[in-house]
Amino acid sequence: MTSNFALRVGPVVAAVALAGTVLVGCQNEAKPAAPAETPYHLRATVAEIMDSMVMPAADVIWNSTAVTESLEGTKDSTPKNDEDWKVVERAAVMLSEALNSLMIPGRHVDKPGAVPDDPESELAPDKIEEMIRKDPQVWIGFAQSIDGTVEKIQGAIKARDLQAISDLGGELDEICENCHLHFWYPKQEKK
Ligand code: HEC
């Protein structure tokens, strides 16, 4: 397997290196790096990743420790068997990788022309992008912090420790909120 992989990858690397040389050769040095140099297709926006991956995955984790009382009785959403736990495990992987993908530079925050739902309190996507460009380490710090908490949650899932998952779920929520306060609705901080 490994040697086969090395054999296959060798010529590709050589071809890419060659292509790079050709590109550099016919381009003005002052131009920024050509986008073709990155293998990533950053088609999904930050808003889409939040909506499609981050929120659904976090919800599974939060709901996994939820026991709610209502007039109809007690609703216990905690995992009961390995299959239920597998669902929570998958959510943790999804959350971790969603945040990793948010660390790739150059992703748009929202579709062109998108306006905030509440312009009074929310920054416009281009303003958020400007903040991320200026302060990438702050953005990356929040993303890494989520991933660190998810790693601890994965340990707690392995240990089937609902109390720890619940506590770490609170920690997770706080990081979401802090990143949103910093980049999305910073005006609320001053309230
Ligand atoms: C690294 C910073 C960061 C972290 C961490 C983060 N978010 Fe976000 N999130 C954003 C930004 C920026 C937006 C605003 C995007 C926009 O302009 O619509 C957003 C928007 C959202 C939205 C709205 C998406 C939509 O449809 O417009 C949801 C839901 C959301 N986040 C959930 C979460 C949850 C849940 C977590 C934690 C598990 C989280 N976010 C962690 C930066 C972050």
CATH code, domain with 59: 1.20.120.10
Q: What is the pLDDT of residue 29?
A: 55
Residues 153 and 90 in one domain: yes
Query: Ligand 1 test: best mutation among 104, 180, 183, 185, most atoms within 8 Å of CB?
Result: 180
Residues 32 and 49 in one domain: no
Residues 10 and 71 in one domain: no
Q: What is the pLDDT of residue 122?
A: 95
Q: What is the pLDDT of residue 182?
A: 97
Residues 102 and 21 in one domain: no
Query: Ligand 1 test: best mutation among 46, 48, 49, 50, most atoms within 8 Å of CB?
Result: 50
Q: Is 55 in the pocket of ligand 1 (CB under 6 A)?
A: yes
Angle, vertex CA 170, rays to CA 167 and CA 100, nearest 5? 110
Q: How far is CA 154 from CA 61, 130, 147, 150, in A?
A: 10, 33, 10, 6
Listed residue (37, 58, 62, 38) closest to 49, CA to CA = 58
Listed residue (57, 59, 65, 63) closest to 163, CA to CA = 65
**Total domains in the fold of the chain:** 2
Residues 101 and 162 in one domain: yes
Residues 119 and 173 in one domain: yes
Q: What is the pLDDT of residue 22?
A: 46
Backbone angles phi, psi at 50, to 5 degrees: -60, -45
Q: Which domain holds residue 113?
A: 43-190
Q: Which residues of the chain fall short of a pLDDT of 70?
A: 1-36, 189-191
Query: In which element (H, E) is residue 73 found?
Result: strand 73-76
Q: What is the pLDDT of residue 36?
A: 62
Q: Is 150 in the pocket of ligand 1 (CB under 6 A)?
A: no
Residues 35 and 103 in one domain: no
Q: What is the pLDDT of residue 188?
A: 82
Q: What is the pLDDT of residue 176?
A: 98
Alpha carbon distance 117, 123 (integer Å):
10
Q: What is the pLDDT of residue 187?
A: 84
Helix axes 162-179, 136-158, angle to 10 degrees: 170
Average model confidence (pLDDT) across the chain: 86
For the stretch 154-176, pLDDT in tens is 999 999 999 999 999 999 999 99
Q: Is 128 in the pocket of ligand 1 (CB under 6 A)?
A: yes
Alpha carbon distance 167, 103 (integer Å):
26
Q: Is 135 in the pocket of ligand 1 (CB under 6 A)?
A: no
Q: Is 126 in the pocket of ligand 1 (CB under 6 A)?
A: no
Residues 95 and 24 in one domain: no
Residues 121 and 102 in one domain: yes
Q: What is the pLDDT of residue 38?
A: 83
Max CA pair span of the chain: 73
Alpha carbon distance 80, 41 (integer Å):
39
